[in-house]
Copies of this chain bind each other. A is one copy, B any other.
Amino acid sequence: MQRTIIADCPKKVGEKVEIYGWVDTKRDHGKITFIDIHDFSGQIQVVGSGEDLSALKPQYVVKVEGVVQKRPPEMVNEKLKTGEVEIKIDKVEVLSKADELPFDLGMGTLDLELPTLLDFRALTLRHPKVKAIFKVQAKVLEGFRKAAEEIGCTEIIVPTIAASQTEGGAEVFKVDYYGHKAFLTQSPQLYKQILIPVFERVFTVTKAYRAEPSVTTRHLSEVTQMDCEIGFVQFTDLLDLLEKVAVETIKYAESECEEILDSLGHKKIAFGKIPRLTLREAQEIIKKEYGRDNTKEKDLTPQDEQDLCKWALEKHKSDLVTVTHFPTAAKPFYTKPDPENPKLSLSYDLLFRGVEVLSGSQRIEGYDQLVESIKSRGMNPKDFEMYLMAFKFGMPPEGGFSFGLERITMHILNLANIREASLFPRDMERVDIRFSKLVK
């Protein structure tokens, strides 16, 4: 007999079916046992009697043969897509047993502390509400690629082992590379720029690494970046493009995951016209509306970001805000200073629901200016030989931007900690298993 997926069972009333899945919950009513079983497509109630059934426990993997039957009207479960039917069991076969669970996976919400959630990651990911996070994440990825292709970008694969630090700073992981010193890339930045004279417009989904020696709710040591880089553009074109890609990415995930998001109590994202502010303008709004004078600061504070998003939602019905013109000295060496005021740069952040999820800039395209900028940050141009080669041989005006996949996922779903938005998060406390728990 062929497998029937659970979602198809309501179409097969009166027919014999074979389903495969995991035991969720079991309810023994004297002689009769009710069992909820799920596969990737949904959940269904199966009913029967006997020792075989009583022996089943949560997370057992089973093959069930039985007949699909209508439930009596008073037994219909309207919350379940298959709630009008159930399967009367003829035969059940256990394909794989499970140890007793350390917590109840059958509850509507998995109410665990974060360390426990991660200590048992192989198990907690199976909970419907945890799993749902990564269904949404998969659609963010797909949405980004569609949006990037739509603006003419070619997909590129960039290396993650590099000889130089992309962004400067000490927060870099060292790799022993055949006895030579190498680093895990802090971003795909240098490589996507090298490829502008090859493809003009490129995108990549790749890993970036930061040896961040602190534990916060919004940083991971290994993240997924979704990057675009675009040739022959000027600053305002870039702002148009990044907003277009951001909106299409998020809209796609929201529309593809409508049902999942509804089940998680999702608040619809507001896509009003995105306000564009310089950092200074943003700080003036903070001062005027929220009474904090941060107009001398080099960046927005986390509280500023939250308030600015609140303001944008109220005044512009937008969950997104673009902020531009951060101080040149606070940005990476490849960021182009504004020719009209070189202390400020042609840079931008995109804020989404209270946090920065994207950043980017117009880049320096002139070789000499770039070499000077590298030196001014105390770095050695010799370490950027391959990168600089691209600028020796004809580089157009260009710019780009970079989304953090986990950050976007976190804020679409209103998660409290970015670790919840990574299947297997990496931070200074663990690599799957907590270091403090390791006995070596």
Contact = CB atoms under 8 A, between A and B. Distances in A.
A159 B424 contact: yes
B175 A155 contact: no
A221 interface: yes
Interface stretch (A9-17, A273-281, A431-439): A431-439
Instruction: Categorize the interface residue count of chain A.
Output: 35 or more
A141 interface: yes
Interface stretch (A130-138, A243-251, A312-320, A334-342): A130-138
Count identical subunits in the complex: 2
Interface stretch (A78-86, A285-293, A394-402): A394-402
A413 B234 CA distance: 37
A266 B163 CA distance: 36
A107 interface: no
Nearest to A366: B96
* Interface-central residue, A159, A175, A195, A389, by most chain B CB under 10 Å: A159
Contact of A191 (B138, B177, B423): B423
Interface of A: 3, 20, 22-23, 39-40, 59-61, 95-99, 101, 120-123, 125-126, 131, 134-135, 137-138, 141-142, 152, 154-163, 173-178, 180, 182, 184, 191, 194-195, 197-201, 205, 207, 209, 211, 213, 221-222, 224, 232, 365-366, 385-387, 389-390, 392-397, 405, 422-424, 426, 428, 431-433, 435
A174 B175 contact: yes
B393 A431 contact: no
A61 B395 contact: yes
A394 B59 contact: yes
20 contacts: A3-B232, A59-B393, A60-B394, A61-B395, A96-B394, A120-B389, A122-B393, A126-B197, A126-B198, A135-B154, A138-B156, A141-B155, A156-B423, A159-B426, A160-B160, A160-B207, A161-B222, A191-B424, A385-B432, A386-B424
Secondary structure at the A interface, as helix, strand, loop or mixed, is mixed
Given A40-B152, A123-B390, A159-B431, 9 more contacts: A22-B197, A22-B394, A99-B392, A134-B154, A134-B156, A134-B198, A156-B423, A159-B426, A161-B221
Contacts of A155: 138, 141-142
A232 B21 CA distance: 9
Given A137-B157, A174-B176, A123 B389 contact: yes
A115 B358 CA distance: 37
B397 A95 contact: yes
Nearest to A422: B157
A304 to B, nearest CB: 30
A238 to B, nearest CB: 15
A358 to B, nearest CB: 18
Contacts of A209: 161
A123 to B, nearest CB: 5
Nearest to A223: B157
Contacts of A435: 180
A158 B125 CA distance: 13
Given A175-B175, A195-B423, A432 B163 contact: yes
A406 B178 CA distance: 22
A62 to B, nearest CB: 9
A184 B207 CA distance: 12
Contact of A198 (B125, B142, B173, B201): B125
